[in-house]
Amino acid sequence: MLDELDRALVHALRVDGRAPFSRIAAVLDVSPQTVARRYRRLRSEAGLRVVGLADPHRAGRAQWLVRLTAGPHTAQRLARALVRREDTAWVKLTSGGTEITTIVATDPGPDGHSLLLRDIPRTAAVTAVSAHCLLHTYRGGPTAWPVSTEALTEEQQAGLRVPEGPEPVGRPHGLDTADLALLGALHVDGRTPLGELAAATGRTPATVARRLAELRADGTVFLDVELDPRLLGAGLQALLWLSVTPAHVDRVGRALATHRELAFVAATTGPSSLVALALCTEPADLHRYLTRRLGEVPGITALESAPVLRTLKAAGPVPAGAGRVDSLPDR
């Protein structure tokens, strides 16, 4: 579990993942050395990481929530192969370890759906598969799980935010090759120094700083914070698949986005209109949430819940040295 200062640091990074330690220290009323030491300890011992992510719609990509079923002896090997692919995120083992749920990003063009159309269908280890396009996100991405953003006051949060400058003139639309290189570096580490970002993009540090500010200001790029939710008291995760009558999908999605227990809520294609990720302390806590608070939301006609046994990959790529696997096991 995290102490009060650790929680405050995590919340500060949620507000601005690239905030200098000196600014965070001033807001938390501690020394920059203390903030740096805590950050390094959380990175090494708790898996804390800031990752830069692109809004999929602005980047021209679609996201699919894919459910795969495999035999008990092959599911983990299949999951590890999915973890090492560059087009996957949030790889989770559910339902007794025989089901894998992952988010797959696809690009436009004939080769953009290779995982869905070619790699998975030819994988003999897969016994069942369903893919659901994510249509709208009500919570997730830039909108964090509320429990991770309860440590700082409004005044402290305001002290971490950088005042918005004037609207840039002639801002380029779309992402060029330098932008993609910038996103690639931020995906590995959202706190990569400007000098290293400049080297990766071929731009000057001043140009990189200006372009990154533009991309963050218009929502093309946002910073996420990865941390094991168990350190914040969430001992149980469960994916929830909800069927909702079409006329009520948006209302229910907006209502669920206010629930403290949910870290992710999105509208999706398929038999379930909405999918959510619940973070609870224990099974009894999940039961109370499902039967009381969720049960009180009108418009939900059916619910399927699948406990998450293990998260093998979050939003960022696997650490360097873990190897890369583009092909899936054939048996």
Contacts of 229 (CB under 8 A, 6+ apart): 145, 147, 148, 237, 263, 279
Q: Read off the pLDDT band of 119 (50, 70, 90).
A: confident
The 3-class secondary structure across 97-161, one letter per residue, is HCEEEEEEEECCCCCCCHHHHHHCCCCCCEEEEEEEEEEEEEEECCECCHHHHCCCCHHHHHHHC
Coil, helix or strand at residue 53: strand
Q: What is the CA radius of gyration of the chain?
A: 20
Mean pLDDT, range 33-60, rounded to an integer: 92
Out of 83-87, 252-256, 290-294, 307-311, which region has the weakest mean confidence (pLDDT)?
A: 83-87
pLDDT over threshold 70, residue 330: no
pTM equals 0.88
pLDDT over threshold 70, residue 173: no
User: pLDDT averaged over the chain?
Assistant: 89
- Domains of the chain, by residue range, sit at 139-148+233-308
**pLDDT at residue 195 in the model:** 97
Which CATH number does 139-148+233-308 carry?
Answer: 3.30.70.920
